[in-house]
Amino acid sequence: MKFQTTHYHLDLLKDADRVSAFFEAINDYSKKTELAYDLGCGSGVLSYFLSNKFNEVKSIEIDSKASCCALKNLEKYENIEVINEDVLNYNFAKKADLIVCEMLDTALIDEEEVQVLNYARRFLKEDGEIIPKAIINIAELVNMQRNYIHWDENASYEILSSPVNYSKVIFKEEINPSFEKNLKFEVNKDQIANGIKITTVTILNDDLVCGPTPMFNPPLLIPIEEIDVKCNDLINVKLKYNMGQGIETIETQII
């Protein structure tokens, strides 16, 4: 099937690992199939996957251009309704068996996955499910060339510590968007540390995990105060950010 799409959503469609992971997760879903919500449906590819499983699919997209593309792409599917609306303003009339929400980014900092699900979760049946199910965030101490927050695409850096699994966000649970934690890094080489790298792993269901892809949670590099570290040192860094409020909210402090 050929999809009309915006430039941004075309890049998403080209990310085969991302698309195939969600296709597999939706295909694996085997519970009640009366109603599904696709929140932030973009050009409608995930709604297209859902159409083969559900009697009714509500596809909600705030961006008018993307919504227009979804309308054209899905017009032949009588069980799909495309709605150009902000999820946070939408009047959910029925509870769903499944919510799909792919407003994902690294550590959920930029996109509004947390705000949307904290609102929409009340319109999920008690035994309903959410795809994806959860994320896990991992941090590493690094030496990096650029002294500003950036994603690791074409970026040069050196990892200086063992990875720290520092948080897990489960989407069926209420999520506090204000995050703060002290991270303890065990250094494994002598070098100057000036940043941390955050990697997000997505748990789509109990059997399916997807790591970073080019358009799906690429690792994020965050500067810290420069410090000379030695092998076996323990370095403590306070990390703060507000999920869904942008990378401008990120703060770090060596403690």
Mean per-residue pLDDT for 78-106? 96
Instruction: Assess whether pLDDT exceeds 80 at residue 2.
Output: no
pLDDT digits (tens, 9 = 90+) for 157-205: 999 999 999 999 999 999 999 999 999 999 999 999 999 999 999 999 9
When the pLDDT of each residue in the chain is averaged and rounded to a whole number, the result is 94
The mean-pLDDT minimum among 215-224, 232-241, 246-255 falls in: 215-224
Number of H-type helices and E-type strands within the chain: 5, 15
Location of structure tokens 């991270």? 183
pLDDT, residue 10, reads: 61
Query: Is residue 66 a part of any domain in this protein?
Result: yes
Mean per-residue pLDDT for 225-232? 98
pLDDT band with cut points at 50, 70 and 90 for residue 69: very high
On whether the pTM is more than 0.85, the answer is yes
Question: Which domain, by its residues, includes 210?
Answer: 135-254
One domain, residues 96 and 163: no
Residue that is last in its domain, among 57, 84, 102 = 102
One domain, residues 250 and 144: yes
Q: Which of 116, 118, 143 is nearest to 38 (CA)?
A: 116
Query: In total, how many domains does the chain have?
Result: 2
Contact yes or no for 212/218 (Cβ under 8 A)? yes
Query: Is residue 1 a part of any domain in this protein?
Result: no
pLDDT, residue 9, reads: 64
For every residue of 144-176, DSSP letters joined together read ES-SS-EESTT--EEE-B--EEEEEEETTS---
Query: Is residue 122 a part of any domain in this protein?
Result: no
Instruction: Assess whether pLDDT exceeds 90 at residue 148.
Output: yes
One domain, residues 93 and 149: no
pLDDT, residue 50, reads: 98
Query: Is residue 145 a part of any domain in this protein?
Result: yes
pLDDT band with cut points at 50, 70 and 90 for residue 7: low
Assign residue 91 the CATH number of its domain.
3.40.50.150
One domain, residues 98 and 143: no
One domain, residues 79 and 181: no
One domain, residues 227 and 170: yes
Q: Which two tokens stand for residue 171?
A: 């989407």
pLDDT, residue 154, reads: 84
CA distance 99 to 116: 11
CA distance 60 to 62: 7
Query: Is residue 124 a part of any domain in this protein?
Result: no
pLDDT, residue 45, reads: 95
Query: Is residue 123 a part of any domain in this protein?
Result: no
One domain, residues 82 and 179: no
Query: Is residue 40 a part of any domain in this protein?
Result: yes
